[in-house]
C-alpha cells in the first residue's frame, strides 16, 4: 500500500469514527429535535427570511446585498448539484450500520454538504455588507454544519468541503 493509499484509508477511518460520534447525539430526543429544526431552517427558510427582512427594513434601500445573496445562492446550488452528481458519495447512514438518519435527506448523495455550503456563503456575504449580523449568522452556520453530522446525513469531510466551497464562492463573489 502506498503512502497516499494509507493516508486515504486513515482519513476515511477518521471520517467514519467522527461521523458515528456526532450521530450518537441524535439518540437524545431533545438534541434530535433541536438539530432537525436547525436543519429545516438551513433548508432555506432562515436565508429567505433574512433576505425578506433585508428588503422590509431600512436595509432594503440597497438591493445589492440581496441580489448578491440570490446570485451566490444560485451559483452554490449549481456547484453542489454538479459535485454530487460527479462524486455520488452515499450518505453515512446508507453505508455505516452504526449511523442512523435522524432526518430525511433532500437528495441521495452526501458530498458536499449543500446546507453548509450555503450557510457559509450566505454568512460571509451578509456579514460583508452588515457586520452587525455576525453575532447571529456565525453561530447559526455552525449549528447548521453540526446538524448535518448529528442527524447522520453527512460525514465530517462533506461538511468541511461544503464550508470551504461556500467560503470560496463567497470570497470570489465579493472580489468581483
- Say what the pLDDT of residue 159 is: 97
Maximal CA-CA distance, the chain: 61
> With 80 as the cut, is the pLDDT of residue 1 above it?
no
Predicted pLDDT at 110: 92
Backbone angles phi, psi at 88, to 5 degrees: 50, 40
For residues 135-141, average pLDDT: 97
Q: What is the pLDDT of residue 85?
A: 92
Q: What is the DSSP string of 89-155?
A: PBPHHHH-TT---SS--SSSB-SS-HHHHHHHHHHHHHHHH-GGGHHHHHHHHHHHHHHHHHTTS--
Confidence class for position 153, pLDDT limits 50, 70, 90: very high
Read off the pLDDT band of 176 (50, 70, 90): confident
pLDDT one-digit tens code per residue, 34-90:
999 999 999 999 999 999 888 888 665 678 888 999 999 999 999 999 999 999 999
Look up the pTM and report it.
0.92
Domain segments of the chain as ranges: 3-175
CATH class of the domain comprising 3-175: mainly alpha
pLDDT surpasses 90 at 25: no
User: Which is higher by pLDDT, 165 or 3?
Assistant: 165
Amino acid at each position: 500500500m502506498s503512502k497516499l493509499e494509507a493516508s486515504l484509508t486513515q482519513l476515511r477511518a477518521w471520517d467514519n469514527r467522527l461521523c458515528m460520534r456526532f450521530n450518537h447525539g441524535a439518540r437524545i430526543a431533545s438534541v434530535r429535535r433541536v438539530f432537525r429544526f436547525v436543519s429545516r431552517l438551513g433548508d432555506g427558510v432562515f436565508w429567505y427570511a433574512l433576505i425578506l427582512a433585508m428588503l422590509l427594513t431600512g436595509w432594503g434601500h440597497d438591493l445589492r446585498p440581496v441580489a448578491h445573496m440570490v446570485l451566490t445562492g444560485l451559483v452554490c446550488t449549481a456547484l453542489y448539484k454538479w459535485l454530487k452528481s460527479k462524486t455520488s458519495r452515499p450518505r453515512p447512514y446508507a453505508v455505516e450500520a452504526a449511523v442512523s438518519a435522524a432526518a430525511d435527506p433532500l437528495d441521495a448523495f452526501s458530498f458536499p454538504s449543500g446546507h453548509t455550503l450555503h450557510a457559509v456563503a450566505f454568512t460571509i456575504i451578509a456579514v460583508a455588507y452588515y457586520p452587525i449580523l455576525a453575532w447571529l449568522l456565525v453561530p447559526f452556520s455552525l449549528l447548521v454544519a453540526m446538524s448535518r453530522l448529528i442527524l447522520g446525513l453527512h460525514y465530517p469531510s462533506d461538511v468541511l468541503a461544503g464550508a470551504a466551497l461556500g467560503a470560496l464562492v463567497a470570497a470570489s463573489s465579493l472580489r468581483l
